[in-house]
Amino acid sequence: MPLNELRSMVTFVKAAELGSLRQAAFAQGLSPQAASQALAQLEHHLGVRLFHRTTRSLALTEEGGRFLETVQPALQALNRALQGVRQSREEIAGPLRIVGPRSTFNPIIGALLNDFCQRYPQVQPDVQLDDRIGNWVEERVDVGFCIGSTPKEGVIARRLLPLQMIICASPAYIERHGAPDSLAALSLHRCSAFRSPGTGRVLPWHIRIEGSIIDQHVQLAFCTNDEQLELQTTLAGLTIAQVSSVSTAAYFRSGQLVPLLIEHTASHASLWIYYGNRDSQPARARAFIDLAIEKLGDASAYILSSDELRVLARPMQV
């Protein structure tokens, strides 16, 4: 139904209810001329007169009375539906579709959801973690997270925190094999790398050299497409790895991992949150976005400062 036809029918019903076309115009925020034109268009469309009207009186014709009996309940139902949608938009309840990468992001989302669900128990999160790049529109995503140097196109995006990539090993590995004192010395060590689940490509390490980020391919002793498995292998003392501080900061601070070659620590990418037009988002999505920004916006829990890296690396320097 064209919007002008709907407006004309609303004008007709208001005029019948109030007994005045001028009052119907006022109730809708229209000029009397616009209301009169809308009613005339409806009568022309239907091919009948709906009102007997003079300058002082307004009365339904027989056809107008029958039309009112039919259209008035339908418009009331439509109004209830519109009010229901507006009300549900402002309720922090209902399903919430969240997507994000499995690698790196997995340790973050659990704590974030725990906080969110405690605050808003009427929301039902539907979380899909996948390293492939999907279509956020086709998948009906409310809130998404991605890792990269720039946000996804066609969405509103906000940078949350940098991904700090740290070369590291466990104390057991260093005790057994020593620690490399240069990038060149890595060729003498057992290094691991991550294979992209999306492309199947073995990803290089990202190394900072004099302010620039370069790709460093290492001689592999271990490779996997599962970040947690790579981390467990490193914690077990089997390899040297380059890991994201987002998922490993606690291991460094507890002494289970030791940062190495800290002058080459890189922050080449960031974690972003993305979503559609915020003004049209339901309240549950806006609440989740606000909490994510509050909890993850450059959060020190997931980032090691330069001073902290130096302190953590010093005991094991060789």
Residue 132's pLDDT band (cuts 50, 70, 90): low
CATH no., domain 93-318: 3.40.190.290
CB 312 within 8 A of CB 252: yes
User: pTM here?
Assistant: 0.67
Query: Going by C-beta distance under 8 Å and a sequence separation of 6 or more, which residues neighbour residue 241?
Result: 167, 168, 169, 191, 192, 193, 230, 231, 233, 234
HEC states along 175-195? HHHCCCCCCHHHHHCCEEEEE
pLDDT at 3: 46
- The predicted-structure confidence for 177-211, as pLDDT tens digits, reads as follows 999 999 999 999 999 999 987 788 999 999 999 88
83: CB partners within 8 A, 6+ apart:
none
Q: Tell me: the pLDDT tens digits for 137-186? A: 556 788 988 887 665 566 788 889 888 999 999 999 999 999 999 999 99
CATH class in words for 3-90: mainly alpha
Q: Could you tell me how far CA 198 lies from the centroid of its own chain?
A: 20
Rounded to the nearest integer, the mean pLDDT of the chain is 85
How crowded is residue 64: how many other Cβ atoms within 10 Å of its Cβ? 21
Return residue ranges of the chain for CATH 3.40.190.290. 93-318
Q: Which of 81-90, 174-183, 218-227, 280-289 is least confident?
A: 81-90
Q: By mean pLDDT, which of 88-92, 186-190, 234-238, 283-287 is the weakest? A: 88-92
- As a whole number of angstroms, the distance between CA 57 and CA 315 comes to 95
Alpha-carbon torsion 10, 3, 79, 48, what sign? positive
Q: How far is CA 253 from CA 23, 227, 244, in A?
A: 72, 19, 14
Average pLDDT over residues 80-92: 65
